[in-house]
Amino acid sequence: MTISGKALSALKKIVGPHNFTKEIEECACYSYDATAQHFLPDAVVFPQTSHEISKILSLASKNNFYVIPRGSGSGMTGGSLPVKGGVVLVLTRMNRILEIDCDNLIAVAEPGVITSHFHKAVENKGLFYPPDPSSSDFSTLGGNLAECAGGPRAVKYGVTRDYVLGLQAVLPNGEIIKTRVKTAKGVVGYDLTRLLVGSEGTLGVITQMTL
C-alpha cells in the first residue's frame, strides 16, 4: 500500500527520528518472522509509550493505512507480517518490568520484556511464571500474549491466557483501555482480557500486562 509523505512525516514526529525508519535495508529486517515468508513494510516505528501508540493508531485510522504490532518476530503464524505493507510497530523498546508484588503474587510488565528475563526476575523473588515457549530466550511477553503461547509446561499449568489478570491496550481508533476485574471471580459481561489474548494484534495493541 502507499502511505502519504505527510503521514510518514507525522509518524516520525510522534516517535522521533531515532525511532523511525523507512529505509529499505532497515525495513527488510522486519519483513519476516519465524516462517519462510517475507513482506516489506512501508516504514517501521519503535514507540516507547502507550500515548505514542495511541497517536500512531489514531493517525493510521484517519489516513487508512495498516499497522502491524511486532515483538521479536519469533512467531510461527505470520501474525507480525506486513502482508499488505503498512507500518510495523516494534514494541521491543517498551521493555520494563514495572512491578513485582510478592504479597499479591502479581507482576506488571510492558510488552517488550524478554520472556526468560521475566522468568528470572520473578524467580529471584521466589515466584514462578509457568508459560515457557521454546522461544523464551528471545520472545517477548507481548508476543506471548498476542499468540497465547504455551510451551512444555502448558500440559500441567495451562497457557499464557490462564495467567493474565489484566491489560492495558490501545484500540484501532487510538483509545487506551484497561481491562481487569476487581473481584476474585468475574462472570458478568464480556471478558475483554481473554478476548485480547491470542488476537494477534487484530483487536488492539497490548501495551501493559498484569500477570
**In the block, residue with C-alpha cell 510451551:** 151
Measured CA to CA in angstroms, residue 143 lies from 4, 32, 69, 72, 123 at distances of 29, 15, 9, 8, 21
Domain end residue (candidates: 61, 90, 119): 90
Instruction: Indicate if 76 and 102 belong to the same structural domain.
Output: no
**Host domain of residue 69:** 5-90
Instruction: Indicate if 58 and 149 belong to the same structural domain.
Output: no
pLDDT at 95: 97
66 closest CA partner among 81, 47, 50: 81
Domain end residue (candidates: 90, 114, 142): 90
Q: What does the alpha-carbon distance between residue 205 and residue 61 come to, in Å, rounded to a whole number?
A: 14
Edge-to-edge strand ranges of the sheet holding 67-70 = 20-21, 43-45, 87-90, 67-70
**CATH (domain of 141):** 3.30.465.10
**Whether residue 10 has pLDDT greater than 90:** yes
For residues 146-162, one letter each, b for 16 or more C-beta atoms within 10 angstroms of the residue's C-beta and e for the rest, the string is bbbbbbeebeebebbbe
Instruction: Indicate if 148 and 121 belong to the same structural domain.
Output: yes
Instruction: Indicate if 84 and 34 belong to the same structural domain.
Output: yes
Instruction: Indicate if 63 and 123 belong to the same structural domain.
Output: no
**Whether residue 183 has pLDDT greater than 60:** no
**CATH (domain of 61):** 3.30.43.10
Q: What percent of the chain has pLDDT over 70?
A: 96
- For 61-114, write each residue's pLDDT tens digit: 999 999 999 999 888 888 899 999 999 999 999 999 999 999 999 999 999 999
pLDDT at 181: 65
Instruction: Indicate if 86 and 107 belong to the same structural domain.
Output: no
Q: What does the alpha-carbon distance between residue 148 and residue 8 come to, in Å, rounded to a whole number?
A: 32
Handedness of CA 59, 60, 61, 65 (dihedral sign): positive
- For 123-139, write each residue's pLDDT tens digit: 999 999 999 999 989 89
Instruction: Indicate if 101 and 205 belong to the same structural domain.
Output: yes
Helix orientation angle between 5-15 and 50-63, rounded to the nearest 10 degrees: 170
- For 39-54, write each residue's pLDDT tens digit: 999 999 999 999 999 9
Instruction: Using pLDDT thresholds of 50, 70 and 90, give the confidence band for residue 188.
Output: low
**Whether residue 182 has pLDDT greater than 80:** no
